[in-house]
Each structure stands twice: as C-alpha cells, then as structure tokens.
Amino acid sequence: MSFFPYAVAAWVFFAGLYGVATSKHLVHMIVSLSVVQSSTYILLIAVGYRIGSGAPIFIDLPPSRKPAVDAIVQALSLTDIVVSAATTALLLAIATQVWRLKNQVDPDSLRSRKS
Amino acid sequence: MHLIPLALALPLAGAGVLVLLSRPPLARLANVVAVGVGVATAAVCGYVFDKVLHGGMLVYWFGAWNPATHVGIGIDFAVDATGAAAALLAAVIATLVILYSVEYYKDSGPLFNVLLLVFMGAACACFYTGDLFDLFVFFELSNIATFALAAYKVQDETALDGALVFVIMNSIAAFAILFGLTLLEGYTDQLNLATIGQYLSVHPMQAVAVAAFALATCGFFLRSALVPFHFWFADAQSSAPSPVCALFSAITVEIGLYAFARVYWAVFSGVFHPGDVLRDVFIGFGSFSAFSGAILAFGAHHLKRLVAYVTVSHIGVALVAVGLFNAQGMAAALLYMLAFSLSVSALILCVGAIVHMYGKADEVGLWGRGRRMPFVMVLFLISSLDAAGLPAIGTYVGRAMLLSVPSSGTLVWIAAVTLFTASVTGGALLKAVGAVWLGLGEPDPELTHAKKSQEKRSEEESDQPESRELGWHLLLPPAILCAAASVVPMLPQTRSIASRAAMEFVDRAHYYAMTVYGHATAVSATVPNTPDFAASTVWGVLALIACCLLALASLYQRRMGRLHSLAVALSKPIEMFERLHDGQVGDYVTWFVLGSALLGGLLFVSYK
C-alpha cells in the first residue's frame, strides 16, 4: 500500500479549502468546494485499490483468477458524486440569484446581518 | 419490527405525493396531506420507541442481508432506546413545524412542506442508522433539504447570504466526515459502526484512529454549532425562515451531537479509552461553547441571533455531559437535550409569530410592541425558563443529573458552567421579554439612531401590514412544545428511561453483539445516579436571581450612572467577539481549519 494517494487526497483537500477561504468570486468559491469534495473521490478509490487486481465486474465476464478491487468504495464514490451534483447545483442557483439581486459576485460583499 | 424503515420511507414518499399536489387548487389538500404524513411518521417512531423500550434494541437489515459471519456486508438500521427517542422527538417537532408553516407559508405553496418532509425522514434515519456511510448519506440528505429551506426566500438578499455561508460550511463539514470514514473503511474494510468498532479495538492503529476521529468530530461539531465551529450558525438562523430555524436549533444541532456520541461509543471507545485527558478535552470544548455562547447571547439585539447563541451555549453544556464519557453523563445529556430542544423550538416559533406580525425581529424596532400579544409573551417567558432550567422546570432535571455524576474532580467546574449558562442565557432571554413585550427601560440610543436611519432607507421595502391576525396554527405548536418542555422531562418515567437508554448506549460490546448476532447478554449495568435535586434547586434559584438582576440591569443601565459605565466597558470585548461573526465564508473556513488543527492535536495527545 502506497501512501502517495493519501498525500494527493490531503493536498487536494487543503488546496480546495484554501480556494474557498481566499476566493474573490462566488463561482470560483463553488468550484473550490467541488475540489474539496474531489479529494474524497481520490481517497475512496485509493482505499479500495489493490495492485494487480481487475475491475469488480462479475456478471458477464469470464471469471478471472485475479482478485478484484473493492466494489463498495466505487459505489460510494458514485453516491458522493450525486451529493456533489446536488450541492453544486443548489449553490450555483443561489449564486445566480445573488447576481440578479445585487449585481455582485464577490463573496466579501456578503453581509448576512445588518449591523 | 419491519415498520422501522417506514420512518424514512413514509416522509420521502409523502414528499413525492406532495409535489404532485403542488397545483394551487389542491393547496388545502396538500397541507392536510403534509400534516397527516408527519403525524403518521411520528406514530411509527412512537411505535418503534415503544417496541425498543420493551424488547431491547432492534436491528433491521435492508433486503434481509443479515451478517452471516462476523462481517456485516448489508446495511442496517440499529435502533436502541436513545436513537428511537431522539427520532421520536425529531418527528414530533418536525410535525409541529409543518403545522406551524401551514399558516406561515400560506402564499408559498406546498413545496416548503416537501422539503420539510424530506428533512424529517433524513433526520429520523440519522438517528436510526447503524452504518457509517449511511450516516453520511442521511446527514447530507438532511443538509441538502435544509440548504434549500434556508434559501427559500430567494428574493431576500440576507437570506441568500446566510444560506450561502450555511451551505458551504456544512458541505465542508460533510466532506471532513466522509474523509474520516473513508480512512476507517480503508483500514478496516467495514462500514458498519459495530464491526468497525470491533476491528479497531482488536487491531488498534494510532494514525487511522486519530485522523478519522478528529475529522469526523470536527464535522459533527460544526453541525452542532460548537465554538469555534459555530460561526455560520447565527448567520443562518437570522436569515432563514423561522420554522426552519426551529429545525436548526431543535434537530440538526442534536443530530451533530448524537452522531458524535454514537460514533465515539460504537467505534472509537475501544481505542480512545475514556481517560482523564480525553475527558478534559471535550469538557474543555463544551465549556468554551457554553461560556462564549452565553456571552454572545447577552450581547445580541436580534431575537433570532439571540436564540442561536443561546443554542450554542446550551449545546456546550450538553457536550460537557457527553464528555464525561460515562453512562451517568450520557443520561444527563439525554434529559438536558430533550428539555432544551423542546423549549428552544417553542422560543423560535414565538419569535416567528412576532416576525409574522411585525416583519422584523430586532429588539430595538420591537421595543414594547409585543403588548398586543400577551399569549406569545407567556409562552416565550415559560420557554425561556424551561431552556435555562429555572428554578425547577425544563433542563432542571438534566442539570440535577449532571451535578450528581460521580467524578468529583470536575464537579465544581461543571457546576460553574451550568450556573453561568443558566443565568446569562436566562438573563438574555428575560431581557428580550422585558424589552419586546413589557417595554421596560429604554433602547440603546445609538442603536435606535442607526435603526431609524436604516429604516428611512428601506421604508419602501417594509410594506408589512401591522394588523395581521395570529392564526391558531401559529400559537398551538409553540404552546404544545412549551408545555411538553415543562412537563415531559420532569416525569420520573422519563428519568428512568434516560438512565437505561444511556447504559445501553455506552456499552460497545452489547451494541456489537446485538448488531452481529441479534442477541446479547444484558447490558452491563452501572448504578444509575440519583439526581441531585437539592443542588439543582439551589443553582436554579441562584441563577434565577442572577438572571433577573442581569436582565433588569441591562434594561435600565442608562439610569444607573456608575453601572452604566461598567456595562459600556464590558460590552466592548463582547462587541469585538460578535464582530468576528462577519458573514465572510473565508474567515469561517479559516476558523474551521484552526479548530480542526487544535482538536486533532489534542486527540493525538490523548490517544493511549
């Protein structure tokens, strides 16, 4: 088991967080959030991977002698992508609405309370 | 037993039906259906609770994928008394909120209720599930439903700003949880809470345990609005519609704390033994929340922000109880959260009634205007006392249990935390009663001035009619919640159920055996503590006096020369603290990273 994929996942996670924290544009911020989430795809695929094993397809292929990679985490990453699509769609809808109301896409202009 | 999945399936199916009914002529029918589905779900939850209470923990494997060996490949709902009770509470509160929003959202159509039902199903499933990945999925499902609910008023800029902060912070929390659970899955090849816990306790590994526990805990703490992960909470609360705020404070926050306790006891208690260091870490986090939340609440002028900070403070006290890491502490936490979620939802629904009448929720603008709503005042006042446990209702029993937990070293500290929280949050709420309903004292002249100029600017926008009628939909739910908060926690049955539920909750071997084998020996019993009613009463009376004094002092501060200058001096640091809640996502993310680093470091130290 190599530690390289874990390092990549952690790097992508923090790169995304850095993007969210320093963003100057709402769409950029939303994409950065997707980057944070992408790190979990990498991690999910990485933990299920076994060197030298085949795809986890057992139905219409001749049974191979090789072991298969973990099918569960691949299903989990699909679920994860669905979640990501829902969140991103909702956020983009909010962002377009903010643009429509305020002509403003800079997150620094957000003031959720009136002083 | 096969009724268990209905707690999830009913509201989701109901939501689907409701979408079909969203045409205007059917709106009345849609409301009836929404309330009916809510009541049916609550009935299912009640049935499951009753079953669990009499027959012990229930485990339901979807598709009958029972574990053949020690490995559970299937997905299960593992319902113990704690989970069943929490789901029942969530279903009841959500149903009352649906009833409430019939009136509140008369014009907006039933889509609001569709989201409420989805949220309700997801919340029940969060409390029932015994699978780590499903916990994440239902957590996200409840998240996405609340995201859409928070942004429901799409024409309102502040609602959008609050929703954006809310969505981004909670998504980051969910990713942190997912990251942690993936590490666990990679190491143990399991996703079931019980089997992961068993594997970890047999093959402990520090790096995985610390990283996974820290990441998951940060995610759960963000959801339960604990300092320093709480920044999004007040922003979301002050901008979201009131019925949604009630869900935030009374259900989502509890889901976070419950998930933390569940994951700790089912998974990590085998490797993170409840030692002194671990106890200090979480009692520390809880106390910090309790103190900061109370101080912020006292400085708040917006009623919804006020209630949000009161929530932060009380959830901190509940974390202190959970952080004792024993059955007695857990029982205290259960009773405390039961009383608090009921009373805080009543508080928010009362605020919602005011917003409905006057279209605003800030103390200055509402000064003395609540005189026309005496019934709402009575409800708000009683719920405030319930929330603070003064002198002997609501959270009083939870505090009595907490003060009698046998861990002498920290007892003085815990007493101080509960006393401070009860008096300062109670003072803040009573101050609001005095200002909004009784019109005592006078508002801060600076704030009034700022308000006036602001109102001049937005005069055209505020076209809220002042002569709205309060329908029974708006009064009945808070009245029920307020009565329940005063009565239910006081019943001796509730106390004994909580003690038993907590013993079952903290017994990892029992949870594992019930999940994997379907039967287990009796729960390893700890002696239930007899609540220290004397201490709690003394504290209650002291806190009541303190909070009345605080409320009066802050209302009449401008008439008390020297006290006024003291108050001004004290309010400076509070204002600076409040100013950190600036609505900037970037700052909040930075706080999240700092808090996670702190928690991760502390957990690394406390691992043994």
A25: which 2 tokens?
A: 């544009």
Q: Is A65 on the interface with B (CB under 8 A)?
A: no
Q: Is A92 on the interface with B (CB under 8 A)?
A: no
Put simply, the answer to whether B161 touches A111 (Cβ < 8 Å) is: yes
A contacts of B175 (beta carbons < 8 Å): 13, 36-37, 39-40
Specify the length of chain A in residues.
115
Orientation of helix B327-358 relative to helix B81-104, angle to 10°? 0
Give the mean pLDDT of chain B.
Answer: 85
pTM: 0.93
User: Comparing C-alpha atoms, which of A110, A114, A85 is closest to residue A26?
Assistant: A110
Tens-place pLDDT, residues B528-576: 777 778 878 888 888 888 888 888 888 887 777 777 777 777 778 888 8
Q: What are the φ and ψ backbone dihedral angles of A68, each rounded to 5 degrees?
A: -105, 160
Residue A78: closest C-alpha in chain B:
B137
Whether residue B260 contacts residue B221, with contact meaning beta carbons closer than 8 Å, is answered with yes
Q: Does pLDDT of B134 surpass 50? A: yes
Tens-place pLDDT, residues B266-308: 999 888 888 778 888 999 999 999 999 999 998 888 889 999 9
Put simply, the answer to whether B585 touches A83 (Cβ < 8 Å) is: no
Residue A26: closest C-alpha in chain B:
B164
User: Comparing C-alpha atoms, which of A44, A45, A36 is closest to residue A12?
Assistant: A36
pLDDT at B56: 85
Q: Does pLDDT of B462 surpass 60? A: no
pLDDT at B463: 42
For B452-460, the CB contacts below 8 A with 24+ separation are B454/A114, B455/B365
Put simply, the answer to whether A98 touches B182 (Cβ < 8 Å) is: no
ipTM above 0.85, yes or no: yes
Q: What are the φ and ψ backbone dihedral angles of B78, each rounded to 5 degrees?
A: -110, 105
Instruction: Describe chain B by its helix, strand, coil percentages, rounded to 5.
Output: 75, 0, 20
Whether residue B180 contacts residue B215, with contact meaning beta carbons closer than 8 Å, is answered with yes
Nearest Cα of chain A lies from the Cα of B131 at a distance, in angstroms, of 13
What is each CA distance from B537 to B24, B106, B383, B398, B403, in whole angstroms?
53, 44, 18, 12, 11
A contacts of B183 (beta carbons < 8 Å): 43, 47
Place of tokens 């015994």: B130
Q: Does pLDDT of B474 surpass 90? A: no
Put simply, the answer to whether A29 touches B168 (Cβ < 8 Å) is: yes
Nearest Cα of chain A lies from the Cα of B50 at a distance, in angstroms, of 34
A contacts of B585 (beta carbons < 8 Å): 20-21, 23, 29, 107, 110
- Choose between B102 and B343: higher pLDDT: B343
Residue B159: closest C-alpha in chain A:
A112
Report the sign of the C-alpha dihedral through residues B239, B240, B245, B249, in that order: negative
Q: Is B444 exposed, middle or buried (0-12, 13-18, 19+ CB in 10 A)?
A: middle
Confidence grade of residue B26 (pLDDT, cut at 50, 70, 90) = confident
The distance from CA B45 to its chain's CA centroid, rounded to whole angstroms, is 19
pLDDT at B92: 95
A contacts of B161 (beta carbons < 8 Å): 98, 110-112
pLDDT at B220: 94
B contacts of A115 (beta carbons < 8 Å): 450
B578: which 2 tokens?
A: 């409040």
What does R_g of chain B's alpha carbons equal in angstroms?
23
Q: What is the 3-state secondary structure (H, E, C) of B476-504?
A: HHHHHHHHHHHHHHHCHHHHHHHHHHHHH
Q: Does pLDDT of A6 surpass 80? A: yes
B489: which 2 tokens?
A: 């926690």
Residue B587: closest C-alpha in chain A:
A21
DSSP 8-state assignment for residue B106:
T
Cis peptide before B228 (omega within 30 of 0): yes
Whether residue B343 contacts residue B429, with contact meaning beta carbons closer than 8 Å, is answered with no
pLDDT at B257: 95
Cβ atoms within 10 Å, residue B472: 10
Q: Smallest Cβ distance to B182: which of A40, A86, A93? A: A40
- Choose between B46 and B363: higher pLDDT: B46
Residue A14: closest C-alpha in chain B:
B593
- Choose between B467 and B58: higher pLDDT: B58
B contacts of A43 (beta carbons < 8 Å): 179, 182-183, 186
